[in-house]
Chains A and B, each alone.
Chain A
């Protein structure tokens, strides 16, 4: 197979001083499925973005089909037959499938109108050709995530791309949806397309790829043939040391029930039933993991517990106290909460680290008060922050630095530290390791297990089934707003949970 893309000595530094790509040279062959692996922050996404023209490189050369190429924007790459499907699907929910597919390449009618009939026909033909099973007139906001991914791919095929770049495509799919995607990708390869596949999931990469390039901390480690390497080799190359893939949970006795979520039902303002009779109990020293495809009620569950949403029916009790109608401040005296989105809910990124660290403590911790509770005791606040820094190994320069100057992992440590130092009996964690590098993920897992040892009750929502299985004592599945499973972790498997996530209760066996 001949070489189709060559990238030489690529350097990319994000302002002010983050080296994302450090002299990376790599080449891809025509008609292969080539995976680029590495942990979060290794540079694999950035490398593809540089190739695609989304991000400008600081140095290095790129050759496409032997010719030097310099793409300033995706349109130029597409013109050369290269297309990219992003991890975050960037479609327009308000438009239909066919409108999304033709956007930017619309068949024209008179005076600049869109020839809607021709467009619909072309899209339908393409869907049939690749056997994608989509309705061209469906509104993209209403279809499943896997379907949306197919729309993204179709968008590129509509423009006749022959080189497809996929960035973490399996991150949004359930275990059951992945094999179908893989078979479609293999069919495309057999038809002559080249597929570049960015991922950190080694099992999938081993199954799908012909060749694999490993990146670590902005450098390329090596490129190997898939059938001549092992998952262990790849992991070692990715992280630089031996990685343990097993669980470290200890066996112990659970305490009393700390959190009782009883018969929670919630209908949203548009009339859709988002939660139906959801009941979950969490005991002291227990981790209950919540699995589910995004959009099946997790958002409403978390927000009901924390107090942003008022469910129409049901109760939330912590330590016997009915929180259902209490304001957020009072709930937070019992509930520690690490939200899904650091930037939107967990912190104020432009404020200083100190200001982020003391939130809630400013009201609940008497040491931070001065003068009859009106003033903040800044000296103590500073001490508190430094204390947090030490206890949670936060790598920071000064408490007055803006929060956004911290890396993702350190930001999460500050948030975790702030919440844990509240010493609450119940801890609610929503995707706590999303977007973190392997080191930080390990750290968070350690902390979660330590909380468990210390006897706290933990409710953990996560999209990462491996993580759930590693940490949880029990797993609960949310499907269409209802509990579709509530099982001790030993009595189930990843495939079983994946099935319930997709289909609810299994068929009667």
Chain B
């Protein structure tokens, strides 16, 4: 039973950063932006979270800084891709490179260490115990006691679904992706919708990064996003953007993450268990692609 609970908790932990980043990517996906910079935004968020938390001894400041750092990257994306009309793919790759370089460099400059910065002075984001629910057997231990960000992620999933499908903003956002010319001739600026979608993505990826460095563990490591931005991208493509679908897929990936940790206890080499999320992505992509192939025309 303990194993089961551990597995579920591991699944939720692994899923949360992917879910948040993918939600951010969903907004840009619907707006028609080819955004592959989630990896970089998450990394920037993770670093800035540690900076905020360490220097202000507050996890709230950590979250704030994470959002600001990720937003900065989003603004650079806007500058190059929207204002200067640079190719979005190239801008995304450039931003990811910039995030890796800048966080590595700044870690060395600010904390005088290379590789990993772990310090008791970093304040982690706490978990939340919900009264009454926590006393429910089995379910209580899963539903209560999760990190604050996990609950936030759930709320944000609902908010995303509502915003994208029920509001005026959402109608226009999706129009920007379906047919930019149509939206422009309706008197709404597609460019503006795309910028807004990037800003939303910045905020959500910042939260994802904060969870990575202040919730999941309590440190910053070089390149700690470790490809999760790419997995979020895969998630968005597989589910065609729907927020609830993304939540489901994130759980699947999170599960594969947790499974890895479990298998380590059974003497499976850690390198192979670390591969599991990426293999899981390939398997999911397989099902998706085969289905797509059947529907292809020419």
Contact = CB atoms under 8 A, between A and B. Distances in A.
A contacts B directly (C-beta below 8 A): yes
Interface string A104-132: 11101001111000000000000000000
A384 interface: no
Nearest to A115: B168
B167 A112 contact: yes
Interface in A269-325: 269-270, 303, 308-309
Interface string A146-177: 00000000010001000000000000000000
Nearest to A309: B298
Contact of B297 (A75, A93, A309): A309
A92 B178 contact: yes
Given A73-B189, A92-B179, A114-B166, A99 B171 contact: yes
Interface stretch (A83-91, A188-196, A420-428): A83-91
Contact of B182 (A54, A78, A103, A114): A103
A74 interface: yes
Contacts of A74: 184-187
A95 interface: yes
A103 B169 contact: no
A269 B297 contact: yes
B175 interface: yes
Contact of A103 (B166, B181, B186): B186
B19 interface: no
B169 A112 contact: yes
Contacts of B182: 90-92, 100, 103
A255 B181 CA distance: 49
B172 A104 contact: yes
B185 A90 contact: yes
A114 B173 CA distance: 13
A303 B298 contact: yes
Contacts of A90: 179, 181-182, 185
Contact of A114 (B168, B174, B183, B186): B168
A94 interface: yes
Contacts of A222: none
A268 interface: yes
B109 to A, nearest CB: 43
Nearest to A100: B182
Interface in A67-85: 73-75, 78-79, 84
Contact of B171 (A91, A114, A270): A114
Interface in B146-181: 166-169, 171-172, 174-175, 178-179, 181
Q: For this complex, into which size category does the number of interface residues on chain B fall?
A: 20 to 34
- Which of B171, B172, B174 is the most central at the interface, judged by chain A CB atoms within 10 Å of its CB? B171
A94 B30 CA distance: 13
Nearest to A76: B187
Given A75-B188, A78-B187, A90-B179, A106 B171 contact: yes
Interface in B54-106: none
B3 interface: no
Question: By DSSP majority rule, is chain B's interface helix, strand, loop, or mixed?
Answer: helix
Contact of A155 (B171, B175, B186, B297): B186
Contact of B187 (A86, A99, A104): A104
- Which of B166, B174, B187 is the most central at the interface, judged by chain A CB atoms within 10 Å of its CB? B187
A106 B171 CA distance: 9
B2 interface: no
A114 B179 CA distance: 20
Interface residues of A, number: 33
Contacts of A112: 167-169
A86 B168 contact: no
- Which of A74, A91, A99, A104 is the most central at the interface, judged by chain B CB atoms within 10 Å of its CB? A104
Contacts of A111: 167
B165 to A, nearest CB: 10
A446 to B, nearest CB: 32
A363 B21 CA distance: 49
B294 to A, nearest CB: 6
A108 B170 CA distance: 13
B1 interface: no
A233 to B, nearest CB: 34
A429 to B, nearest CB: 20
Interface in A33-54: 54
Contact of B178 (A54, A94, A113, A309): A94
A408 B168 CA distance: 40
A92 B294 CA distance: 25
B190 to A, nearest CB: 11
B295 interface: yes
B296 interface: yes
A444 B174 CA distance: 42
B298 A104 contact: no
A113 B169 CA distance: 8
Interface string A13-40: 0000000000000000000000000000
A339 B183 CA distance: 30
B187 A108 contact: no
A309 B297 CA distance: 8
B178 A103 contact: no
A99 B167 CA distance: 12
Contacts of A95: 175, 178
B185 A113 contact: no
B175 A92 contact: yes
A502 B273 CA distance: 63
Contacts of A78: 187
Contacts of A93: 178-179
B185 A84 contact: yes
Contacts of B178: 92-95
A501 B188 CA distance: 37
Given A75-B188, A86-B185, A91-B182, A103 B172 contact: yes
A391 to B, nearest CB: 32
Contacts of B296: 269
Contact of B298 (A92, A270, A308): A308
Contact of B168 (A92, A108, A155): A108
Nearest to B186: A104
B270 to A, nearest CB: 44
Contacts of A54: 185
Interface in A385-436: none
Contacts of B181: 90
B167 A114 contact: yes
- Which of B178, B182, B189, B298 is the most central at the interface, judged by chain A CB atoms within 10 Å of its CB? B182
Given A74-B184, A155-B186, A269-B295, A91 B168 contact: no
Contacts of A100: 182
Given A73-B184, A79-B187, 15 more contacts: A54-B185, A73-B187, A74-B185, A74-B187, A75-B188, A90-B181, A92-B182, A100-B182, A104-B172, A106-B168, A114-B166, A114-B168, A268-B297, A269-B295, A309-B298
12 contacts: A73-B184, A100-B182, A103-B175, A103-B182, A104-B172, A104-B183, A112-B167, A114-B168, A114-B171, A269-B297, A270-B295, A303-B298
Q: Ordered nearest first, which 10 A-B pairs have the shortest CB separation? A: A75-B187, A104-B186, A90-B182, A112-B167, A90-B181, A104-B188, A106-B168, A103-B186, A104-B187, A92-B178
